[in-house]
Amino acid sequence: MSGSHLPGEMVRPAIQLHTLRTLDEPLTQTLHRVADTIYEGVEFAGLGDESPSTIATTLESTGLDPVGAHVGLDALETDYESTIAAYEALGCERIVVPSYGADEFSSDTISEAADRLSVLTDRLADDGFETLYHNHAYEFSRYDDTIAYDALVTQTDDRLGLEFDTGLARYGGVDPSTYLERYADRCSLVHLTDTIPESDATLHVDLGEGVVALDACVDAAADADWLIHENGLTSNPSATLESSATCIETLLNTV
């Protein structure tokens, strides 16, 4: 798969473009902005008003890799062909389900969620895509003495990758570095995020402003392909872009 690193190579930095969605500029301009930092790739959350061909041209000119795309499960099931065609045109080979409904993570419904994700994984694999699941915080609730996230992983095939979000996991009450080590073989993408587990307003904060042990997470994510930053709650996306790039560069050079 394009973008995968060989053994011994360092995990590469990328940014989830949802972080920059409030910038008043075309997506292509945002891509140029990202390319001026240490980030080597971008993860999409929609394509805005730009055509896939225009975005593909911009990716080529900037040298940014299309790391993956967040696409809702409902959209994948109801508008599958056009959705994958758009990302295929970008050379994007990873589709990430960004979350599942919180009410699905109970003893009565988690098997259904696992089955639904497994069916999607098989279908996307037939079309040359890797499927990953991105956690929120609620997957780390317990039922029957089992953490829901662990039950989901156990009930899905290894072909379903995990895009582990460190901040949301910490918000959910678990140690993210422990989970990254536990499921390292399924985490080709890692969301390096920070949090303050007090309210929804601090679900994501800028790197270094929360309680996540970022250095431990980066160390645990050493075998991943991409380390992706996201802060969907930032009020200053330009500043977040710059500060996160600086933080990740420091972490990658010291861990």
Number of domains into which the chain is organized? 1
Residue 65 maps to a domain: yes
Is there a domain that residue 135 lies in? yes
Cα separation, 196 vs 113, in Å, equals: 28
Answer yes or no: is 168 within a domain.
yes
Q: Is there a domain that residue 6 lies in? A: no
pLDDT per residue rounded down to tens, the chain (255 residues): 334 554 557 899 999 999 999 999 999 999 999 999 999 999 999 998 999 999 999 999 999 999 999 999 989 989 999 999 999 999 999 999 998 876 667 777 888 889 999 999 999 999 999 999 999 999 998 888 889 999 999 999 999 999 999 999 999 999 999 999 999 999 999 999 999 998 999 999 999 999 999 999 999 999 999 999 999 999 999 999 999 999 999 999 987
Residue 3: predicted pLDDT: 43
Separation between Cα atoms, residue 2 and residue 24, nearest integer Å = 31
φ and ψ at residue 99, rounded to 5 degrees: -175, 170
pLDDT confidence of residue 100: 83
Q: What is the pTM of this model?
A: 0.94
In a domain, 1, yes or no: no
Residue 137 covered by a domain: yes
Question: Does a structural domain hold residue 117?
Answer: yes
Domain range for 195 is: 12-254
Whether 219 is covered by a domain: the verdict is: yes
Bridge partners, residue 160, by sequence:
131
Q: State the CATH number of the domain containing residue 96.
A: 3.20.20.150
Rg (the chain; Cα; Å):
17
